[in-house]
Chains A and B, each alone.
Chain A
């Protein structure tokens, strides 16, 4: 299989965006997904429960050192950075905020890029800051695939725009097209992998 994991960064307008993206993925979606959604440190696990209720893949808040498995989307808990370890398990930290954010998208993307290199897909969605731009650049630098929500169709365009300014990307698409794109990329490349 060409790709091994998906990381998604999203901020303002994210709950609505994730409610469109995640339910559109089939239970058989072959890649594990890690998500950073900026939110208040005191927010509970309501978001994960809500997304889990509307999605076919499982959605939960990441627990420290749990395996990063396909058919599952892991959400960074409020107040924690989410990182991927080299043995492909999830790891949390309460280090300082990065880009005024904890969790920070850059922290997730950079650690995932170290582990998955060219097998990583990075997705930057709607948001009103520039977190994720550096991380997406790191993903591209290691040979991964970059997908950005079309800023024109994002409820907050600063974040996708910052990502596009930071690095050349592979796909700029509407929110509704992101899930079909991910399904296509993962399925196609899987077929290539089987043939090769």
Chain B
């Protein structure tokens, strides 16, 4: 057996073991980036083989907790892809304003930067008061960080620049209180956000949403799992609701494509037109 084949077998065993022991199912994650994360987990534990990692994770919940952190590290920032937020203001906001109450789901919200960006945008557009944002993730540590809404003050200059390019209408520093090296986003934003645990792979639909934002999450899934999760999104969206994906993600060649119309092709904003 070639080393690469034996390695694949070990990864399969590791993922199987994790699924049976902890209920987290990584079988349909994109293998190439999953493998890099597993290698990072190996390096952190100073083990050399994936089969050894299985042994450790199987018997130590604490190690599994650390492992989960590595499995869900992504890099994001407030108003990532400023043009996306401009497109939201242009194409999505006018319709949302016509509803008495709106529900937004940030699926796979990680540490929350993009959730606060959306809350801030809804505030500036004048209807945060009649909105509820559901921010979900499967990583409890990330979710805690998101709920705290405290970020490194050093990031604020970059975020402020993004905010400006995203069409920000106010003065960005007004939205957070500045502490020593930390910036804490204000409570009036947080009051409209519900942070909760949700695993896109194993948990169900989240009903009657006007907007679902799931940016740069599907890239970690294979096509089978992407279709499964997109099916949940489609079932969770109201007719006329919007689905927002990341820059590299499209509905092309997915099962739900016939149900959606592209509102902004470049910014990957789609509207549900069928059932």
For residue B1, CB closer than 8 A to chain A, the reply is no
- Give 1 or 0 for each of A10-50: 1 = CB within 8 Å of chain B CB: 00000000000000000000000000000000100000000
Would A95 and B219 be within 8 Å (CB), given that A64-B249, A80-B248, A114-B4 are in contact? no
Q: State the CA gap A91–B32 with chains docked (Å).
A: 8
Would A80 and B247 be within 8 Å (CB), given that A63-B252, A85-B32, A91-B33 are in contact? yes
Total interface residues on A, using CB and 8 Å? 31
Q: State the CA gap A42–B166 with chains docked (Å).
A: 12
Partner of A111, one of B32, B73, B218: B32
- Specify which chain A residues have a CB less than 8 angstroms from the CB of B8 in the assembled complex: 86
Q: State the CA gap A80–B248 with chains docked (Å).
A: 8
Q: State the CA gap A96–B77 with chains docked (Å).
A: 12
For residue A178, CB closer than 8 A to chain B, the reply is no
Size band of the interface chain B makes with A? 20 to 34
Q: Is the CB of A62 within 8 A of B75?
A: no
Contacts of A41-84 to chain B: CB distance below 8 A = 42, 61-66, 77, 79-81, 83-84
- Specify which chain B residues have a CB less than 8 angstroms from the CB of A62 in the assembled complex: 248
Q: Is the CB of A64 within 8 A of B248?
A: yes
- Specify which chain A residues have a CB less than 8 angstroms from the CB of B75 in the assembled complex: 94-97, 102
- Specify which chain A residues have a CB less than 8 angstroms from the CB of B226 in the assembled complex: 65
- Give 1 or 0 for each of B119-141: 1 = CB within 8 Å of chain A CB: 00000000000000000000000
* Chain B residue with the shortest CB-CB distance to A111: B32
Q: State the CA gap A97–B75 with chains docked (Å).
A: 8
Q: Is the CB of A96 within 8 A of B73?
A: yes
Q: Is the CB of A93 within 8 A of B219?
A: yes
Q: State the CA gap A85–B32 with chains docked (Å).
A: 6
- Give 1 or 0 for each of B188-218: 1 = CB within 8 Å of chain A CB: 0000000000000000000000000000101
CB pairs A–B below 8 angstroms (14 shown): A63-B252, A83-B36, A84-B32, A85-B31, A86-B8, A86-B31, A93-B74, A94-B76, A95-B33, A95-B73, A102-B75, A110-B36, A111-B36, A117-B4
B contact residues vs A (CB 8 Å cutoff): 4, 8, 30-33, 35-37, 73-76, 82, 216, 218-220, 222-223, 226, 246-250, 252
